[in-house]
Structures are given as structure tokens and as C-alpha cells.
Homo-oligomer: A and B are copies of this chain.
Amino acid sequence: MASGSMGAGAVRHIVMLKLGDKANVGKVAASLGKLGDGIPGVKWNSFSLNTDLGLAEGNYDVALTIEFPDKENYLAYAKHPEHVAAVQSNSSMVVSRAAIQFSLAPKL
């Protein structure tokens, strides 16, 4: 797991995926999980992959939360071939994608 220090510029990236067939949750989670082993040249502080508990109707199925030490590492991640390949390999199983990146105040 690549890691950097939590500075003033830390960024949290969250992506949520809704799948056409819930049976594919394991496959999609596995392909995203492989990214968590590390991507050359990309630093993050934490990488967590989670699946929905089924407590509400219409929920998304998978959430990936990555905390980067700064915007530059998020941008390097976003365009990295390994990330792009994972997105492409999952695309046929994903019916809806929601993403956001926001800054994280440093933990005092």
C-alpha cells in the first residue's frame, strides 16, 4: 500500500457504482481491490472498498474511497493506465456511476 503524509492538500475521492446485476458485486470489487495493492507513482493515505448493506431501496452497490495526500496524486491515479483498465473492465457491469473529490482539512 503506497502512502504519503496527510497535508493541507489532502483529497478524498469517492466513487460509487450501481451494477446491472448484483451477482457481479464480487467481480467488480475484486478488480477494484487489485488497484489497492498499489499503482506505480501514485501515493494514497488510505484505500477502502465497501459494499452496500441493503438498508435502503435504490442504493448503489459498491463504494471505493481513496484519500490522497494531494490533488496531484489523485490526478495521477485518474489517468493511470491501471486505473483506466479497471474502469473499462467493469464498464459493461456498471449501470450508474457517481464520483466526487473534496479537500480534507488536516487532522490536528
A-side residues, CB < 8 A to B, are 11-12, 14, 16, 18, 50-53, 55-56, 58-63, 71, 74-75, 78, 96, 98-103
Contacts and interface: CB of A to CB of B under 8 A. Distances in A.
B53 A103 contact: yes
Given A55-B71, A59-B100, 6 more contacts: A16-B16, A50-B100, A50-B102, A53-B103, A63-B100, A63-B102
A103 B61 CA distance: 13
A42 B62 CA distance: 26
Which of A51, A55, A100, A103 has the most C-beta atoms of chain B within 10 angstroms of its own C-beta? Answer: A100
Contacts of A18: 98
Contact of A100 (B12, B60, B101): B60
